[in-house]
Amino acid sequence: MFSIGQNKKISHEALLNHFKENKVEIANAITKPFPFLESLRDRSFITEDIYNKSQEAHRNLIPVEKVAYDVLCCLEKTFDRSLLQVLFSRVHLKEYPALIHSDKKLAPHKESRSHKNPPSTEARPACGRARQ
């Protein structure tokens, strides 16, 4: 039997594995930079520098799916379950309907999360920010 702490760790690992295994599908669903990049920047998942570099790459005709994949690779390093709430938010599901498939694949893992516990508001290192 697992303690609550162990269950949280397993749940985090399961969510991270889901994220890793589905990065290509998630990135492929992103068909335009807005609101994807802005949502991540506004919630401090990515730094202003990563945001600007991603916008510049898109302006230089790098396909938005590749830009999104690179951002997701960066986010994998600082993965937090609250990232999935942003990625699969109503706004993103409306703008990027292909995300619905990845969101449904996540459903078994979502059940292990308590709806009573709000997302963590504690500081998290943004992707692209040097750790101290």
pLDDT digits (tens, 9 = 90+) for 22-80: 999 999 999 999 999 999 999 999 999 999 999 999 999 999 999 999 999 999 999 99
Tell me: pLDDT of 2 over 80.
Answer: no
Q: Name the percent of the chain in helix, strand, coil, to the closest 5.
A: 65, 0, 35
The enclosing H or E element of 25 equals helix 23-29
φ and ψ of 46, to 5 deg: -125, 155
Render pLDDT for 89-120 as a digit per residue (tens, 0 to 9): 999 999 999 999 888 777 655 544 444 344 44
pLDDT number for residue 129: 62
pLDDT number for residue 22: 94
Note whether 126 and 45 are within 8 A (CB). yes
pLDDT number for residue 8: 59
pLDDT number for residue 24: 97
Q: How many CB atoms lie within 10 A of CB 107?
A: 8
Q: DSSP string of 32-59?
A: SSTTHHHHHHHTTSB-HHHHHHHHHHHH
Which two structure tokens, joined as six digits, stand for 20?
Answer: 């890793």
pLDDT number for residue 124: 58
Note whether 51 and 74 are within 8 A (CB). no
11 compared with 95, residue with greater pLDDT: 95
pLDDT number for residue 127: 78
